[in-house]
Structure 1
Amino acid sequence: MNGFDHERWLTSMNELSAALTSGFREKFGYPPGKNEVTPAAGPLPEGAEDLPTPLVEFFRHVEEVSLPDLHTGVFITGARHTVSGRDGRQPVRIDGPEAVDVVTFAADGGGTLFALGLPDGAPVYRLPPSALDRAGVYDNHDSRAQVVAATLPEFLTGLHDFLAAEITRR
């Protein structure tokens, strides 16, 4: 996490989220959803310290990210949900041409998931809707999973830039 300022990212994301929703109802004819980055409040839940270091550091600053009106939506679940998803309800392993253990931490509104490779929390994988077995193994034999960022800070920076570009387009 060298050099990544979580607090500045959180503040900037909330400023951009406010700009995203300004005039939203008038432009689209319906009210915006809850678009915000919620700061962390209180200690990490049990089991969170076992997550990859970049994700632990993120959750020390951010509770969750909710951007339902950014494209198809982007949601970074809270630490508690991320830890509980390790029980196989979310992908815990990608199996295909290569096999890698992962921790799922985010989703878009269209069924795509985002996961960090283990044990170091890198890279960030994009997992389009696919078969997931009862043990949480994501079937990637068709090679649909893609690396979208080398690190979590790179992913977060990309999310920030995507939100800023969306505001410019509107």
Structure 2
Amino acid sequence: MTKAEKLSARELVLGAFHLLLVEKGYINLTVQDILKKAGVGRTTFYAHFTGKEDVLRNSVGQLRKWLVSVVDAQAGFLSFTLPYYQHIISHHEIYDHLVGREEFYTFERYFMRMLTELILSEIHSPKYSPAQQAKVELIALYIAGSIWATSAWWLERKHLSAEEMNDSFRKLVLPGLEQSLKNL
């Protein structure tokens, strides 16, 4: 199998996964469903993924790569939040099926990890002592939790645009973030 064919099979699986999340939800989704929808065989699937949770992990990984690629470094701290909120609202059919359901917590684990890593990549510094680094990790986890919680709140209401949501979030969070980092 050529590199292009491998990439194509991987993309087919991820695309099928996203479509099936809307149709069936995560818990009711099976690897067999993904195989059928993607039009790939079991061997091809397992050459790329270990199971449906691995497909989820890779899907969130793709989102992370995309967010990193569109970040405007000139926008300051948390510059990924606007593209993140734009992604959430543009894919709301998927996320609407998750909010308030058991599978929400499976997604939360991967999203929290992704968000925390993105935040740490912006605020971490090698000059920090171990105690300061622990505080930076706590700050990152706190902000990631805030992003995740506001995303769930927003999906249930959809009264704000992505830009309004991002502006509101940044006004709530940035002053505290900047002050916390100064006080390390």
| TM-score, with structure 1 as normaliser | 0.27
Greater fraction of residues in helix = 2
Which of these two proteins has the greater Rg computed from alpha carbons?
2
TM-score normalised to structure 2 length? 0.25
Query: Higher relative contact order by CA 8 Å / sep ≥ 6: 1 or 2?
Result: 2
